[in-house]
């Protein structure tokens, strides 16, 4: 497994299986005849669990938890699609280039926490992901993202960091907001192994989810976990010079995604075995999706 740190500071990350607490069942109510019968969602307005709103896409959502007006499409821990107008309550985000059968082929031994539906539900947070450029580029980006999270999680097996001795080290007390969930609360979680209080703060702010106070959401809610991985992929360059998303969309090559995720510990000959592991997975996933992996695979 790689040992890496998601942001400027680099720290050892070991991964392992830990009990995963699944979220409570979604709140439900009797189906309504028309989505238009519900009030429009208003950003910043307080909602109570059980409230039903009509979103800007015309679909209805029901609050699973009290929240201060988080976006129903982005903050899926707080909101759930609600069946109205005879529909199924789903919120399409376009045709994801990886089918569920291909996803299962890529990850035959995955932890059930890392569900395909959780990934698809997370795509709305970053609609440009695997949805920019030609079909080939879209599939290459999807393969690249999944290859890197494959490496970080042992094939989507590990949800949290293994080495509990590391847990207290991921609190940067120099940050004004401190570590309100506790000094040992910000260990690696999820597909990209989000760690450090400042990364939980930044990811949560971007996603409209209070991860600084509720870091366990990343190990309790599949869609939230996937969103943190997509947050890093689409917005952070880490030790690299570009985001992994831009590396693939602009044809800089898979090697640049490795550099942006863990380049300081793996690239430029530092750990060629780890790089090769990522490249092997990428080539395998690209083949499953029926595309060439392109050039510049190494860093």
Whole-angstrom Cα distance, residue 84 to residue 248?
39
pLDDT digits (tens, 9 = 90+) for 139-186: 999 999 999 999 999 999 999 998 899 999 999 999 999 999 999 999
Q: In 3D, which of 196, 185, 120, 190 has the Cα closest to residue 157?
A: 190
Element (H, E) at 79: strand 79-82
- The answer to whether 19 and 201 are in contact (CB under 8 A) is no
Of 9-13, 103-107, 286-290, least confident by mean pLDDT is: 9-13
Looking at the predicted structure, is the pLDDT value of residue 30 above 60? no
- State percent of the chain over pLDDT 90: 64
Q: H-helix or E-strand containing 159?
A: none
Dihedral (Cα; 1, 221, 110, 253), 10-degree rounding: -60
Q: How far apart are CA 112 and CA 277, in angstroms?
A: 23
In the chain, domain spans: 34-91, 100-157+234-289, 164-221
Task: Say if residue 56's pLDDT is above 60.
Answer: yes
Mean pLDDT of the chain: 83
Answer for the pair 13, 200: CB distance below 8 angstroms, yes or no.
Answer: no
- Residue 60 confidence (pLDDT) above 80: no
What's the CATH class of domain 34-91? mainly beta
What is the pLDDT, as a whole number, of residue 84?
A: 59
CA distances from 99 to 96, 120, 139, 142, 211 (A): 7, 10, 11, 11, 30
CA–CA dist 39, 55 (Å, integer): 9
pTM for the whole structure? 0.70
Q: Which residues carry out catalysis?
A: 152
Confidence of residue 44 (pLDDT cuts 50, 70, 90): confident
Cα(172)–Cα(176) distance, rounded to whole angstroms?
9
Give domain 100-157+234-289's CATH number out of 1.10.530.10, 2.60.40.3080, 2.40.30.170, 3.20.20.70: 1.10.530.10
The DSSP-derived string for 2-60 is: ----SSSS-----EE----PPPPPPP--PPBS-GGGSPBP-TT--B-TT-EEE-TTS-E
Q: Which tokens is 161 given?
A: 């960091």
Question: Which residues lie closer than 8 Å to 108 by C-beta, 6 or more apart?
Answer: none
Run of H or E residues at 82 = strand 79-82
C-alpha–C-alpha distance, residues 49 and 293, integer Å: 46
**In the chain, what percentage of residues exceed pLDDT 70?**
82
Q: At 79, give phi and psi (nearest 5°).
A: -130, 150
Bigger pLDDT: 31 vs 175? 175
pLDDT in tens, 184-219: 999 999 999 999 999 999 999 999 999 999 999 999
CB 193 within 8 A of CB 5: no
| φ, ψ dihedrals at 287, nearest 5° | -65, -40
Dihedral angle, C-alpha 112, 114, 116, 120, nearest 10 °: 150
Architecture of domain 164-221: 2-Layer Sandwich (3.30)
Residue 162 gets which letter from DSSP?
S
The answer to which of 18-32, 38-52, 79-93, 124-138 has the lowest mean pLDDT is: 18-32
CA angle 81, 54, 225 (to 5 degrees): 35
Tokens of 106: 């890529």
């Amino acid at each position: 497994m790689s040992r890496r740190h998601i942001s400027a500071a680099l720290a050892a990350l070991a991964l392992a299986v830990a009990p995963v607490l699944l979220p409570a069942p979604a709140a439900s109510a009797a189906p309504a005849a028309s989505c238009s019968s519900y009030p429009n969602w208003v950003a910043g307005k307080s909602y109570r669990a059980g409230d039903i709103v009509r979103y800007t896409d015309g679909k209805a959502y029901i609050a699973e938890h009290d929240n201060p007006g988080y976006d129903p499409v982005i903050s899926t821990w707080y909101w759930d699609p609600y069946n109205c107008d005879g529909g199924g309550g789903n919120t399409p985000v376009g045709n994801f280039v990886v089918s569920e059968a291909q996803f299962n082929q890529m990850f035959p031994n995955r932890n059930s926490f890392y569900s395909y539906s959780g990934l698809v539900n997370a795509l709305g947070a970053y609609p440009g992901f695997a949805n920019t450029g030609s079909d080939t580029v879209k599939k290459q980006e999807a393969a690249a993202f999944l290859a890197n999270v494959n490496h970080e999680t042992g094939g989507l097996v590990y949800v949290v960091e293994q080495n509990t001795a590391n847990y207290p080290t991921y609190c940067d007390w120099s940050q004004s907001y401190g570590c309100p969930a506790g000094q040992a609360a910000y260990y690696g979680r999820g597909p990209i192994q989000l760690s450090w209080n400042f990364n939980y703060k930044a990811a949560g702010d971007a996603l409209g989810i209070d991860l600084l106070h509720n870091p366990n959401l990343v190990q309790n809610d599949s869609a939230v976990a996937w969103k943190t991985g997509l947050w890093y992929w689409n917005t952070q360059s880490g030790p690299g010079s570009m985001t992994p998303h831009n590396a693939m969309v602009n044809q800089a090559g898979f090697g640049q995604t490795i550099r942006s995720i863990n380049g300081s510990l793996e690239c430029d000959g530092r750990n060629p075995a780890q790089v090769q592991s990522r490249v092997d997975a990428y080539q395998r996933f690209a083949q499953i999706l029926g595309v060439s992996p392109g050039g510049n695979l190494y860093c």
